[in-house]
Structure 1
C-alpha cells in the first residue's frame, strides 16, 4: 500500500490541476510515516489506508477530489440514516432516510460529549468554510456513536447512532405546476439524454408558462452540455453572448497520464451518448486532449463551440427564478453562473458549493482495491475580488435557518418576486 500512496502523491503533485497553485500544501512524509507505523503494528487495512489517504488529500482543500475504497463500496456503504445542518451551535436534522427514530427539525447540541463549538475546532481541517451554514457535518457524524439530542420542545436525551446501508442515489429531472408557476427540479446534469427527453416531453408547458422556478439547490453536477437544451428558454429574446466576459480561462493539465485516463473516459461516454450535440462536444474534447498530450498546462481550442454560444431566447417564460444552495456543485454551479447572464433570471438562496475552480475529473484505479478521482483543469479567474471556493453568489441571499425545515422559505420568496415583477438579473 506504500507504493499506492506514493503513486497518489505523484498524481497530486504532477497530474492534479492544482499542482502548481498548491505546491507545498501537502505533507506526504507525515502520512507515509503513519502508513509505515500502521504496517508495523499489523493495523494497515483497506479501511485504515483509506482514512490516511483521505486525511492527506484534505490539505489540497478541493472538494472535487475523491478517494474510494472499492471493496468497501462493493460491500455497500453505510451511514447514520439522516443528514444535519449547522445553525448557531446546534446541528439540525434536515433529512431523514433510514433512521425512523428521528424527524426533521430536532437538533443535536453535542456529539460524543463535545459541544458543536468544540467539535468545530477539533475538525477544523474538515470544516474549512466561511460560514457555519456551509459546513458539511455528515462525514463527522460517522466518527461518533452518540449525541445529545434536543427535541422541538427542548427536552434533552442521549441518542445512539445506528448504521444503515446507504440507498443508491436516484436523480430527478421533473416539471410540475406549483401555484400557477412551472416548477423544474434538476438534481444533477449527469444524463444529457434524460434532460433532453424531459425538455421535449414538456415542450408545450415550457413554452406556454409565463414564469418558471428552477430548483438546483441539491444539484450534484455532471456535464455542462446537459443544460444546453434549456438555454433558449433562459435567455432574453435579444440574445446573450455566453462566451463574452466569462472572467476566467479554463486551463488543462495535459500530462500524458491525464490524456490517457481522460481518453478512456471519453470513449466510454461516446458509446452511451445519443444526442448529436453532446457527441460533437465529446469528440472535440477528445481531439483537444490528443492534440495537446504531454504539453503541460494548455488552453483548449473550443472555437467551434464558442461560435454557437450567442443564444437568442424565446418570448416565454418572461420571468425565471433559480433556487440555489451550498449543496449545488460542479456543473450545477456552471448552470447558475450562466443563468446570471440573463436579464430574465433572478438567482436566490445561498452561494453554491464552490467547486468550479477545478474540474473535468479523471481517475486512476488500483485493481479492485482503490480509485482516485481528481480534477484535470483549473479556472484562471481575472476578477481580483474573487475568493476561490466561495461559490456563485445569488442575487438575493437568504440565510439558512431552522425555519427552512418548517416551510420552504426560498420558494415563498421566489413566488413573492414573481408576483411583484421585480427581477434582479442583468
Structure 2
C-alpha cells in the first residue's frame, strides 16, 4: 500500500502540481523508494517519510497527513525565535511551561545549532519566520529558562492538536473600529458580519483590520469588505493584480470540482454560490487542456466594484502567520491609498495556489496547488518573503507583554488625523 501511495504522489508532483515545471528535479524519489522498500513502516512513520519527501519542493500549499484527528499532534505550546532563544508565545495544553519562558537548547543543542541541522523543516531565511512546531515534536527534552528566573530540563510530551477556532469580530476602541478575522473560510459568517455592521463601517473615521493569524480560505469571503477600503468612486482590482494560470489536468479538474461541490454544501449566499458554479463550469470546460487562464469574466464583478463611504484611514496588521487568502487580502489592500500595512511580512503562499485534495486508502490526505501566479515568471513571487508591510515592526519578547503592533497602529492613525497625510 505504501509504495502505491508514494508512486501516486510522485506522479502528481511531476505532472499535476502547478510547480511541476518550475521545480522539476527538486525532489529525490529514488531515495524514498529505497526507504519504503527497506524499512518497517507503519502509518505514522510513513506519514513522516512522505512529509520529508515533500519538503524538497518548498511548497507551503502542499502537505500529507493521516486523517485521524488524534494523529495530529503538537507539544501543547507555541514558540517564536528571537536571537538565540525560542520564546513561548502560547501554552494551551502544556501547563508546565508559561508564556514568556524561553527555550535555549533542544536535546543538548543550542538553538543556532538546531536551526542549522533542521533548516529544511524550518523553511525560513529569517529568525522570526521560522516554524519550530515540527522540530519540537521530534525533540525529547528542552532546556527552559523561566520568565521568573531559573533554568530546568523539561521532557516534552505530545498532545492531540487542538482544532482551529475561527473568530470574526468587530469592536470599538475610542474612535477606532477594530476588525479581527482569523481566517476567510466561513463565507456566510463573514459576509453577514460586514453587512450587519454596514453603518459602523460607513461612519468610522479609523479602522484597524487584524489578520496577523489569518489561516486563509477563499478570496471571495472578504469581497464585501473591499469597497470600504479604497478611495475614489470605482476600483478594478485587475489593474494591479497578477494573472493566474490553472493546470487543468484531468485529475486536477476532478479533484477541484469535488472539493467545490463540498464547499457549496456549506454556503447559502447566492452570489458566492454563483461564483463557485461558474468556476466549476470553467474547470470542466478546460479539463485536460494543461495551463489555462480561466475565463471568469461572468463573475468578475467581485474584481470590479463601486466604493462605499467608509473610514478615512485604515491600518492592516500582518504577520508571518497570515497566509494563502490572507496573503491575497494584504496584497490587494496595499494598493489602496488609505491603507497602511503594519507588522511583519505575511507567510507568502500564493505563488502556487487553488489547492486540490486527494484521500488515499481512507487513511491519508494529500493536498497540492493547481494554479500558478504570473508573478513567478516575472520574478516577483512572494515565496519565502511574503507581502511586505509599509511599516515593519520586528518581533521581540516585548510583544508578549503588550500588543506593540496595535499601539503603533493607534499612533499611525493619530498621525493621520493631525497631519492629514500619509506617514
Same fold (TM > 0.5): yes
Report whether the alignment pairs 1:304 with 2:301: no
Q: 1:250–1:378: 8 Å Cα contact kept in structure 2?
A: yes
Which among 135, 143, 165 is matched to residue 160 of structure 2?
165
What is the SS of the residue equivalent to 2:120?
A: coil
Report whether the alignment pairs 1:6 with 2:1: no
- How high is the TM-score relative to the length of structure 2? 0.95
Shift of 1:314: 2.4
Report whether the alignment pairs 1:286 with 2:283: no
Which among 130, 133, 138 is matched to residue 138 of structure 1?
133
> Any gaps of 5 or more consecutive residues in structure 1?
none
What is the SS of the residue equivalent to 1:168?
A: coil
Shift of 1:76: 5.0
- Structure 1 residues 423 and 313: CA distance shift in structure 2, 3 A: farther
Q: Distance in 1 between matches of 2:271 and 2:102?
A: 47
Larger mean CA deviation between 396-405 and 201-210 belongs to 201-210
> Any gaps of 5 or more consecutive residues in structure 2?
none
- Structure 1 residues 204 and 157: CA distance shift in structure 2, 3 A: same
- Structure 1 residues 332 and 169: CA distance shift in structure 2, 3 A: same
Q: Distance in 2 between matches of 1:123 and 1:189?
A: 31
Q: Distance in 1 between matches of 2:285 and 2:175?
A: 51
- Structure 1 residues 424 and 54: CA distance shift in structure 2, 3 A: farther
Shift of 1:384: 3.7
Q: 2:125–2:384: 8 Å Cα contact kept in structure 1?
A: no
- Structure 1 residues 424 and 281: CA distance shift in structure 2, 3 A: farther
Which among 360, 366, 375 is matched to residue 372 of structure 1?
366
Q: 2:350–2:382: 8 Å Cα contact kept in structure 1?
A: no
Report whether the alignment pairs 1:224 with 2:219: yes
- How high is the TM-score relative to the length of structure 1? 0.95
Q: Which residue of 2 aligns with 1:240?
A: 235
Larger mean CA deviation between 52-61 and 156-165 belongs to 156-165
Q: Which residue of 2 aligns with 1:392?
A: 387
User: What is the Cα-based RMSD across aligned positions, in Å?
Assistant: 1.7
Q: Which residue of 2 aligns with 1:352?
A: 346
Q: Which residue of 2 aligns with 1:319?
A: 313
Q: 1:357–1:389: 8 Å Cα contact kept in structure 2?
A: no
- Structure 1 residues 112 and 373: CA distance shift in structure 2, 3 A: same
Shift of 1:164: 2.2
- Structure 1 residues 86 and 168: CA distance shift in structure 2, 3 A: same
Q: Which residue of 2 aligns with 1:69?
A: 66
Q: Distance in 2 between matches of 1:217 and 1:298?
A: 33
